[in-house]
Amino acid sequence: MSESSSTRTPTGDPGGRSSSVTTPPEVPISEQPGSPAAPQPPASEKPKKRPGDRIFQNLTTGAGVFVVALIGLIGLFLLIQAIPALQADNVNFLTNHGWSTNDPANMSFGILDLLEVTVATSVVALIIAMPVSLGIALFLTQYAPKRLARPFAYVIDLLAAVPSIIFGLWGILVFAPAIEPFSQWINDTFSWFPLLAPGNVAPSVRGTIFTAGIVLAVMILPIITSLSREVFERTPTPHMEGALALGATRWEVIRTTVLPFGKAGYIGASMLGLGRALGETIALAVILLIPQGKNFDWSLFDGGATFASKIAANYSEFNNEISAGAYIAAGLVLFVLTFLVNFAARSVIGKKGD
């Protein structure tokens, strides 16, 4: 008689009758599921991508590669065009203050003044625009009722699209005359401070770095405000409601939830505004505001020229390759400067996100 797959164990009961309990058959360890020796199911094949997915992936990859290649080609073009002028330069291009490119046979030009004025005006604009835009964005997202916040948001978005020439005309014809007494009072009262000392232009001149910085701040204010508002609106509602449930005030909710969540986006928006202040979109606005003066001496009441205004004001000198190469070399420095600003912004955003 063959062995049964199960065994019966006799047991007794109070009535004297015997019964049996069926126990399951023992399974060898090697055949138990999950054991190392257990046979594994065959690996499933990866799902095939649909034709539309493959086409979309290839298009997006190609677009990204195209943008990177285009930027690289622009930088290469600027470098190739600038090399002949740099070879003909009789002074140090990075440390010289003067700019003389009229005679291709005797050229001496440097970008130190252009760099200093560009950085000074952009920093002044950023110092003014960042706190103001932060306050406006927080007001529109946290305090203002929706019926008021929406129209204001539309107006700010429209201001971000105003051309720079409009801001320049407003600055030189309306704002500069209005702020002239205030600028003169600051210059007279705080002349002991180096940044507010008398500049290299006459005090009656309305176009100074101080005035231009304020106009640039007005120009980049809508960009920073619009992007910051979009970021602050994405703050998770459960986080805000949880803070309110714990008894936090409105300001404490902003400080503990909204600002930490939107800090990286706010910095990114500020760097984007700085990029506009550095770039060619302000060329016409700055050329209308900043008159030419002597060497820049780190006073807000100096005159001077930025990279963009210098290139725009002297476009008529592009009648020969060597002279044009000098301005292209200045554009190459601005190109690199913009990359450095974006790299610094990405580094700050990355650290804030960790």
pLDDT score for 8: 47
Share above pLDDT 70 across residues of the chain, in percent, rounded to a whole number: 78
The predicted model gives 227-255 an average pLDDT of 88
- Report residue 130's pLDDT band, with 50, 70 and 90 as the boundaries: very high
pLDDT of 84 above 60: yes
Q: State the chain's maximal CA–CA distance in angstroms.
A: 127
Question: Average pLDDT in the 145-164 region?
Answer: 85
Is residue 309 within 8 Å of 215, Cβ to Cβ? no
pLDDT at 12 exceeding the cut of 50:
no
Question: pLDDT tens digits, residue range 100-112?
Answer: 887 777 888 888 8
| Residue 343 to residue 51: CA distance in whole angstroms | 37
How many CB atoms lie under 10 A from the CB of residue 222? 21
Q: Is the alpha carbon torsion for 122, 127, 132, 135 positive or negative?
A: positive
What does the pLDDT average to over 261-288?
74
Query: What is the amino acid identity at position 36?
Result: P
Domains of the chain, start order: 64-353 (1.10.3720.10)
For 90, the 3-state DSSP assignment is coil
Q: Show the CA angle centred on residue 249, arms to residues 247 and 254, nearest 5°.
A: 120
**Predicted pLDDT at 73:** 93
Between 166 and 222, whose confidence is greater? 222
* 283 CA to centre of own chain: 20
Tokens of 316: 């008529």
Tokens coding 348 = 């700050």
Q: Is residue 31 scored above 80 in pLDDT? A: no
pLDDT in tens, 175-184: 888 888 888 8
Q: What is the pTM of this model?
A: 0.76
b/e per residue, 223-234, with b = 16+ CB within 10 A?
Answer: bbbbbbbbbbee
The residues, any chain, with a CB within 8 Å of residue 295's CB and separated by 6 or more, are 97, 113, 200
Higher-confidence residue of 5 and 103: namely 103
* Predicted local confidence at residue 156, as pLDDT: 87
Structure tokens, 128: 């003014």
Instruction: Tell me the average pLDDT of the chain.
Output: 79
Please give the average per-residue pLDDT across 224-237, as a whole number: 90
The backbone torsions φ and ψ at residue 109, rounded to the nearest 5 degrees and listed phi first, read -145, 145
Distance of alpha carbon 85 from alpha carbon 127, whole angstroms: 36
CA distance 164 to 168: 6
Compute and round to an integer the Cα radius of gyration of the chain. 34
CA distance 29 to 206: 92
